[in-house]
Structure 1
Amino acid sequence: MLRILHGLPGLFAVVFLATLAVTGSILALAPALDRAGAVVPPAGDVSVAQMAGRVVSNYPGTEQIVRDLSGQVVVYYSRDGQAGANRVNPVTGERLGAYQPSAFFVWIRDLHRSFLLDTPGRMVAGISAALMLLICLSGMVLLARRSGGWRALMRPLAGTGSKRVHAEIARLAVLGLLLSALTGSFLSAQRFGLLPEVSDPGPGFPAKVSGGQPRPVDQLQALSEVDLNDLRELVFPYPDDPQDVYSLTTTGGSGFVDQATGELLQFQPRSTGSVVQQWIMRLHTGEGLWWLGLILGVAALGVPALSVTGAIIWWQRRRSSVQVQDNVTVAEADVVVLVGSEAGATWGFTRALQTELTKAGFRVHCAEMNALAHSYPRAAMLFVLTSTYGDGDAPASARQFMTRLRDFRAGSALKYAVLGFGDRQFPNFCQFALEADEALAGKGLSRIQPVELIDRCSAARFSEWGDRLGTAIGTPLSLSHDPVPPRTFRLELAQRVDYGLAVQAPTSILRFRLADAGQGWRSWFFRARRHSLPAFEAGDLLGILPPQEGQDARFYSLASSASEGVFEICVRKQPGGLCSGYLHGLKPGDSVEAFIRQNPGFRPATGTVPVILIGAGAGIGPLTGFIRKNTARNPMYLYWGGRSANSDFLYQPELGHYLKDRRLTGLSTAFSRSDERAYVQDRLRQDERALRKLVETGAQVLVCGGRDMAAGVKQVFEEILQPLRLEVDDLRVQGRYLEDVY
């Protein structure tokens, strides 16, 4: 609820708030500029009488002298029947320049106070100030929660991205914004009668005036006792009227001065309410406090920045929040997925899990952790995916979970697994996920697998968790979700080579280049942009965005590296495949949106150790890329399986060339639709002794292709390794058995 109170006003009033902030920042310059142009003598150096005498000597027709809060002294005078106003030096009384309020600042002030709409605009400005006050207060509470308490507000903030930037700007600007919003709301409330406006009526005209011969103004005792820095206004008596008086207004009050005796008459001090109101105005405008005005102006500039980062955060939440579709009821579910999320990012991972489980035939019920049911009568598995908020607290959708868990009745067959999301920069990384795991174990539930923690919503770690979970429950899961895809770029199809049409397994080698747009400066821009692209190697992944909106990217292993200047992938057309069908329909010159995802966990070892490459179908792509880069001619062996040597022998010309120049040491192929009907596993068994010897010498094994093929290859290698008293897992630990499977 607090997050809604913080975010919704900002979204709906962003234009008004930004206008108030920018205009307020500009107006904050005015007091500083006025102060810079003013002559301000030290306190006690010049009295009002001395200043007035010097001014009158230069302006005999002086009618009024005003000293504003910035220290600027203005004389209003009459000369030859013409009224004038000049800024003067209070020490010498000499002219500094004509006094003319800036038309620009007047216009900005009207825009700030009323959006140039008079009374209706003032109402909108007042409401906007109240909304800003609400945003500041709620933001401070949220910031304290995020930091781990009020005492931790000044500690270095953890986190990354827009949320970190938003929090840092908010922490720097919030006090200034809070002061501006509070004082602005107060003044608006007074303007429209919601709060009483305090005003001193001023002293009544003195009943008795001496009426004697007027003295020079610099000889009047009452004015001699007032320091110039306390002056606000001095109004001169009407000429040739001995019954008139000087009207004096100071910081302490107002009264009259007898022009003949110099006596102070009817002085009325300012009321406490008037002083408070004056200070509220000064705190809001910075007048008389030019340094505070600059601070408030800088803080106000945080509003546009906060609006941008806030909008980005809102959009990320919107993109990350996934509608729960195909959701069965609690009574029907055999799998339950509970979600703990503060900003919505965890729901995207949940949707990916739900989709895969539903494909596997499970009936899945997804809900917030706050909606934990009393029991799940048919469920055999419970998955909890949760983030941690701030310094180890439960996220918004899980704050009632622990309370509801007390009354939860788990069936004897129900098992669970917890996946935590967090950021290792925070001291209590994934603390709530760990607490939820322990709490579920305390209810007597058995773990499907130990709790796992994911740092910064890593899509790769989520996919790996899915692989392990699939093995644990006996159902392969291919989990793919990237909550914040990297920056995309446009690729143009430069060349394609098609295979497999005769055996109903269309497979294409697609070579893309960065799309150029025209000639001249546009072409130069795109050539320059090419150098800013992330580096990539064969084995890294090219994420392709399908043409349909809302679909997750599909990833294809790259067969090329950045130094080659092309993005090469090998794609088999899958029946009903959304992205593979899209790619197979491309013609040279067509373009796609794509991005690079590094995959450093699938690389051939450096040095002279032998490398055994094993693949089937389109899995040959990155393996060919590894061979192409083997310019050092280290021992490299390829085992690959296809359907027909005549139809889908992928990369046949290139592999023949690599054999001749010794980048490829040995090639063994197997074709399932040939007379021998062989698979790649058969070729491995045939070379069992040679492979075992290579492993003994430290060889590395890289497997790329479908899951079924990879499972078969693993089984064969378990047999090959048995005489060596080794297992595939032993090689995995040593980084000598790597897989890239799909």
Structure 2
Amino acid sequence: MLRHLHKFPGLLAVLLVSALALSGSVLSLLPALDRAGAVAASGAQISVADLAGRIAVDYPGVEQIRRTASGKVIAFYFENGRPAAVVVDPVSGQPLSEYAPSGFERWVTNLHRSLFLGDGGRIVAGGGALAMLVLALSGLQMTARRMGGWRHLFDRARGTGAQRLHVQFGRLAFAGLVLSSVTALYMSLATFELIPDGMSKPLAPPTEVNGGKPLPVDQIAALQGIDLDQLRELTFPYEGDATDVYAIKAATGEGVIDQATGRMLAWQDHGIARQVHELIYMLHTGQGLWWLGLMLGLSALSVPVMGATGAVVWWTRRRARPGIAGNCAAQAADTVILVGSEGGSTWGFARTLHEALTAAGHKVHTAPMDSLLTSYSAAERMFLLTATYGDGAAPATAGSFLKRLEAVRTSPAFPVAILGFGDRQFPKFCQFTQDVEEALAGKGWASLMPLETIDRQSAQEFARWGEALSRAMGEDLALVHTAVRPQSHTLTLISRSDYGSEVQAPTSVFRFAVPESSLAARLMGRAWPRFAAGDLVGILPPDSILPRYYSLASSTRDGFIEICVRKHPGGLCSSHLHGLQPGDTIEAFVKANPGFRPARGSRPVVLIGAGTGVGPLAGFIRANSAGRPMHLYFGGRNPFSDFLYRREIDGWLKDRRLTSLTTAFSRVKGGTYVQDRLRKDADHLRAMIADGAQIMVCGGREMAAGVMGALAEVLAPAGLTPIALKAQGRYVEDVY
């Protein structure tokens, strides 16, 4: 739902909102320029009478004195029958410069307020302000979800160049855009009298004017009681008309003054509604708060950038969605396939299923999960194929599926089969798929076959699911899926460090150069993205389009791409990597792994890894320039053969990036494993966990299981369990 709420106003209103934002940015400069040209009264207590008296001496034909929000004083007068205006010194009343309204300012103001279309344009501009508010609020919520929750809102932005720019500008500009749009909506509603603006009714003409000889303006008692900084506008009586009056508008109200007696004939205070209106006007325009105007102007400048990058992100996602040939209308189809996809790969599997069912004589309708209808009149079965995004969230095309499902009041007559896609290396593998299954079961939807999951886009697992589907439907369906080769980049090997050959576990640390990319490639999402230790690099072995994933031991800041790889007998990718020499190249891409990160803050982190599992942990330590407490438990076979990162670890201990090191080697006399070391350090571990420590485990499944069992024993006296810590985000794993 949020994606649609954000996408459609953005795509439809991008030009309108950009025009309003750019014109608003120009207008935001005016208060600062006005302030720069104003002369301060330097703390002097000057009354309106004092200033008016000085101006009247130099300009006998003065008609009006106006004080702007910046403090600039302008005198309007007639000279030789022609109107003129001058900016004056508020203390001396002496002229500073001629004053002429800016035609450019009027032009930009009319563009910003009404698009040169009168009241119709004002309505459209109000709609633009509403669109901006919707975009800002929905965008912030989407960003929080993408970053893994509100507490991670200001973490480093990830994704393509366009995605990162969109998020970064959005976070920086959010407060300014919300303030601008809310105040603009208020002013639009007030313009059309849909809400009160507090404007006073004109004062009735006074009936008790003295009509005697006018007093000099500097002797008018009512004006002597008003400070200059309260003045908005003073209009002089018409010369020669003894029955005319002074009209004054001040910060607190407005009134009329007898020119002969100097007495206030009538006064009207500004009510609360008027004060609110003036405050909102000031907040929207920056008039009187020039620094706020500049901040709002900078926020507004982000709107065209976000509009352009948002369009690029939308187009990139749309392009990733493959076309479905022979796609029947929803109400004519006997089979419905709904797809939840983030990057586009799930659509490929959906197309394979669609083509197989069509070839078997079925009428098939394939669409995003977000397009779920309340009924399908001809449907006999439904398939839900969905990935999971980030930390168990819905993917891009299924964001509103569960909400749409709630609107379906009756269970359909047809059964449903659910197939999940994910990567078992992620903590919440196919979590959204499970959420969908629970929601369908809760509404009583019948199941065609049990939920199944596909790990790492395995064509073999998909084919086996197809065999089970054939038995469930009583038809012969062959699901032969050919995966599309992922978009990759060429990485050049810089160096390698070899370990483990003496213990029959050849392991190497490979370091590759970060590929250079043009600005255009970054914006279009075709550049090598930003990455962090703990993310995954997908490597495509020669003559294969199925990637193998390895945890990164470096981040963008390090300036290189580093992984630890053990050579496995018969391993296609590991054997290829171990055959590389500096200067050789591979094809690879990055896959974010946001669930495996040290939590923000300064609390201790306990890092537990064995073998190549130390890779991402080494990356976390390398990035720990602030000296946060980090304690590493490392397991290997022999300290003289496979002690990975030994030299670097010694340096990190010295510069306090690493607080402590505990090792366990299994193929030495009295050999131990990391879980043994954890039990031995039980008291220390419990103390750190009581202090809020986070535990991070990386390595093989057997090692991870042993570590969890040991920690369960360690934590039991404190009434805690690894499962409880997991629920708090304080126990995270990267297991393979």
TM-score of the two chains, using structure 2 as the length reference: 0.55
Q: Give unmatched runs, 5+ long, in structure 2.
A: 468-477, 491-518, 520-525, 529-538, 548-560, 585-701, 703-736
Instruction: Give the share of equivalent positions with the same residue, in percent.
Output: 36
Residues 220-369 of structure 1 mapped to structure 2, 5 A cutoff:
220-325=220-325, 339-341=339-341, 345=344, 347-351=346-350, 353-354=352-353
Q: Is the contact made by 1:337 and 1:385 (CA closer than 8 Å) also made in structure 2?
A: no
Comparing 471-480 with 185-194, greater Cα deviation is found at 471-480
The alignment partner of 1:301 has SS state of helix
Given the alignment of the two structures, is residue 466 of structure 1 paired with residue 467 of structure 2, yes or no? no
Once the 2 structures are TM-superposed, how far is the Cα of residue 338 of structure 1 from its aligned partner? 5.4
The alpha-carbon distance between structure 1 residues 612 and 18, as it changes in their structure 2 partners (threshold 3 A), is closer
Cross-structure match for 1:132: 132
Cross-structure match for 2:386: 385
Q: Give unmatched runs, 5+ long, in structure 1.
A: 453-460, 489-524, 526-531, 543-553, 558-598, 615-621, 633-732, 734-742
Within the candidate set 481, 490, 507, 2:484 is matched to 481
| Higher RCO (C-alpha 8 Å, min separation 6) | 2
**CA distance in structure 2 between the aligned counterparts of 1:602 and 1:539, rounded to whole angstroms:** 16
The alpha-carbon distance between structure 1 residues 387 and 165, as it changes in their structure 2 partners (threshold 3 A), is farther
Matched letter for residue 88 of structure 1: V
Residues 64-143 of structure 1 mapped to structure 2, 5 A cutoff:
64-136=64-136, 138-139=138-139, 142=142
Given the alignment of the two structures, is residue 420 of structure 1 paired with residue 422 of structure 2, yes or no? yes
Residues 664-703 of structure 1 mapped to structure 2, 5 A cutoff:
none
Cross-structure match for 1:18: 18
**CA distance in structure 2 between the aligned counterparts of 1:627 and 1:392, rounded to whole angstroms:** 39
The alignment partner of 1:97 has SS state of strand
The alignment partner of 1:205 has SS state of coil
The alignment partner of 1:255 has SS state of strand
Matched letter for residue 313 of structure 2: I
Given the alignment of the two structures, is residue 181 of structure 1 paired with residue 177 of structure 2, yes or no? no
Once the 2 structures are TM-superposed, how far is the Cα of residue 20 of structure 1 from its aligned partner? 1.0
Matched letter for residue 94 of structure 2: E
The alpha-carbon distance between structure 1 residues 384 and 92, as it changes in their structure 2 partners (threshold 3 A), is same
**CA distance in structure 1 between the aligned counterparts of 2:82 and 2:379, rounded to whole angstroms:** 95
Once the 2 structures are TM-superposed, how far is the Cα of residue 26 of structure 1 from its aligned partner? 0.6
Matched letter for residue 288 of structure 1: G
Q: Is the contact made by 2:113 and 2:121 (CA closer than 8 Å) also made in structure 1?
A: yes
Matched letter for residue 386 of structure 2: L
Once the 2 structures are TM-superposed, how far is the Cα of residue 74 of structure 1 from its aligned partner? 0.2
**CA distance in structure 2 between the aligned counterparts of 1:367 and 1:180, rounded to whole angstroms:** 38
**CA distance in structure 2 between the aligned counterparts of 1:214 and 1:329, rounded to whole angstroms:** 86
The alignment partner of 1:275 has SS state of helix
**CA distance in structure 1 between the aligned counterparts of 2:201 and 2:451, rounded to whole angstroms:** 80
Given the alignment of the two structures, is residue 397 of structure 1 paired with residue 401 of structure 2, yes or no? yes
Once the 2 structures are TM-superposed, how far is the Cα of residue 228 of structure 1 from its aligned partner? 1.0
Q: Is the contact made by 1:66 and 1:75 (CA closer than 8 Å) also made in structure 2?
A: yes
**CA distance in structure 2 between the aligned counterparts of 1:631 and 1:154, rounded to whole angstroms:** 40
Query: Deviations for 1:471-524, whole angstroms, at most 9, x for unmatched residues?
Result: 7878895542367x4689xxxxxxxxxxxxxxxxxxxxxxxxxxxxxxxxxxxx
Matched letter for residue 311 of structure 1: A
The number of equivalent residue pairs is 517
The alignment partner of 2:207 has SS state of coil
Q: Is the contact made by 2:339 and 2:386 (CA closer than 8 Å) also made in structure 1?
A: yes
Matched letter for residue 481 of structure 1: V
Query: Deviations for 1:598-656, whole angstroms, at most 9, x for unmatched residues?
Result: x9999998xxx999999xxxxxxx99x99998999xxxxxxxxxxxxxxxxxxxxxxxx
Once the 2 structures are TM-superposed, how far is the Cα of residue 201 of structure 1 from its aligned partner? 2.6
Cross-structure match for 2:695: none
**CA distance in structure 1 between the aligned counterparts of 2:283 and 2:209, rounded to whole angstroms:** 39
Matched letter for residue 350 of structure 2: R
**CA distance in structure 2 between the aligned counterparts of 1:630 and 1:6, rounded to whole angstroms:** 47
Matched letter for residue 307 of structure 2: S
Matched letter for residue 420 of structure 2: V
The alignment partner of 2:56 has SS state of helix
The alpha-carbon distance between structure 1 residues 54 and 357, as it changes in their structure 2 partners (threshold 3 A), is same
Residues 653-672 of structure 1 mapped to structure 2, 5 A cutoff:
none
Query: Deviations for 1:52-103, whole angstroms, at most 9, x for unmatched residues?
Result: 2333344344322100122111011234444321111101222221111222
TM-score of the two chains, using structure 1 as the length reference: 0.55
Matched letter for residue 95 of structure 1: P
The alignment partner of 2:23 has SS state of helix
The alpha-carbon distance between structure 1 residues 447 and 239, as it changes in their structure 2 partners (threshold 3 A), is closer
The alignment partner of 1:28 has SS state of helix
Cross-structure match for 1:204: 204
Cross-structure match for 2:667: none
Query: Deviations for 1:6-57, whole angstroms, at most 9, x for unmatched residues?
Result: 3323322322221111111111111111112112336672221222233334
The alignment partner of 2:129 has SS state of helix
Matched letter for residue 33 of structure 1: L
Once the 2 structures are TM-superposed, how far is the Cα of residue 429 of structure 1 from its aligned partner? 7.0
**CA distance in structure 2 between the aligned counterparts of 1:164 and 1:533, rounded to whole angstroms:** 12
Q: Is the contact made by 1:348 and 1:481 (CA closer than 8 Å) also made in structure 2?
A: no
Q: Is the contact made by 1:57 and 1:93 (CA closer than 8 Å) also made in structure 2?
A: no
The alpha-carbon distance between structure 1 residues 200 and 305, as it changes in their structure 2 partners (threshold 3 A), is same
Q: Is the contact made by 2:180 and 2:296 (CA closer than 8 Å) also made in structure 1?
A: yes
Cross-structure match for 1:216: 216
**CA distance in structure 2 between the aligned counterparts of 1:75 and 1:302, rounded to whole angstroms:** 38
Matched letter for residue 385 of structure 1: T
Q: Is the contact made by 1:200 and 1:270 (CA closer than 8 Å) also made in structure 2?
A: yes
Residues 331-730 of structure 1 mapped to structure 2, 5 A cutoff:
339-341=339-341, 345=344, 347-351=346-350, 353-354=352-353, 384-388=385-389, 392=393, 395-399=399-403, 418-420=420-422, 431-435=431-435, 452=455, 461-462=456-457, 465-470=458-463, 477-481=480-484, 485=487
**CA distance in structure 1 between the aligned counterparts of 2:26 and 2:266, rounded to whole angstroms:** 41
Q: Is the contact made by 1:232 and 1:249 (CA closer than 8 Å) also made in structure 2?
A: yes
The alignment partner of 2:257 has SS state of strand
Once the 2 structures are TM-superposed, how far is the Cα of residue 304 of structure 1 from its aligned partner? 1.0
The alpha-carbon distance between structure 1 residues 467 and 218, as it changes in their structure 2 partners (threshold 3 A), is same
The alpha-carbon distance between structure 1 residues 221 and 181, as it changes in their structure 2 partners (threshold 3 A), is same
**CA distance in structure 2 between the aligned counterparts of 1:12 and 1:222, rounded to whole angstroms:** 55
Q: Is the contact made by 1:10 and 1:135 (CA closer than 8 Å) also made in structure 2?
A: yes
The alignment partner of 1:8 has SS state of helix
Once the 2 structures are TM-superposed, how far is the Cα of residue 104 of structure 1 from its aligned partner? 1.8
Q: Is the contact made by 1:387 and 1:421 (CA closer than 8 Å) also made in structure 2?
A: no
Query: Deviations for 1:137-159, whole angstroms, at most 9, x for unmatched residues?
Result: 5545655665677x658553765
The alignment partner of 1:173 has SS state of helix
Q: Is the contact made by 1:76 and 1:84 (CA closer than 8 Å) also made in structure 2?
A: yes
Matched letter for residue 480 of structure 1: A
Matched letter for residue 418 of structure 1: G
**CA distance in structure 2 between the aligned counterparts of 1:84 and 1:487, rounded to whole angstroms:** 68
Larger Rg: 1
The alpha-carbon distance between structure 1 residues 81 and 44, as it changes in their structure 2 partners (threshold 3 A), is same
Once the 2 structures are TM-superposed, how far is the Cα of residue 230 of structure 1 from its aligned partner? 0.6
Q: Is the contact made by 2:165 and 2:309 (CA closer than 8 Å) also made in structure 1?
A: yes
The alignment partner of 2:93 has SS state of coil
Matched letter for residue 267 of structure 1: W
**CA distance in structure 2 between the aligned counterparts of 1:261 and 1:423, rounded to whole angstroms:** 89
Q: Is the contact made by 2:46 and 2:227 (CA closer than 8 Å) also made in structure 1?
A: yes
Q: Is the contact made by 1:51 and 1:91 (CA closer than 8 Å) also made in structure 2?
A: yes
